[in-house]
Chains A and B, each alone.
Chain A
Amino acid sequence: DTAVSQTPKYLVTQMGNDKSIKCEQNLGHDTMYWYKQDSKKFLKIMFSYNNKELIINETVPNRFSPKSPDKAHLNLHINSLELGDSAVYFCASSPVRWGGYTFGSGTRLTVV
Chain B
Amino acid sequence: KQEVTQIPAALSVPEGENLVLNCSFTDSAIYNLQWFRQDPGKGLTSLLLIQSSQREQTSGRLNASLDKSSGRSTLYIAASQPGDSATYLCAVIWNDMRFGAGTRLTVKP
Contact = CB atoms under 8 A, between A and B. Distances in A.
Contacts of A48: 96
Contacts of A105: 42-43
A42 B32 contact: no
Interface in B77-109: 87, 89, 91, 93, 95-99, 101-102
A97 to B, nearest CB: 7
The B contact surface, by secondary structure, is strand
B101 A42 contact: yes
Nearest to B43: A105
Contacts of B98: 45
A55 B97 CA distance: 13
B43 A90 contact: yes
Contact of B97 (A45, A104, A106): A45
B42 to A, nearest CB: 7
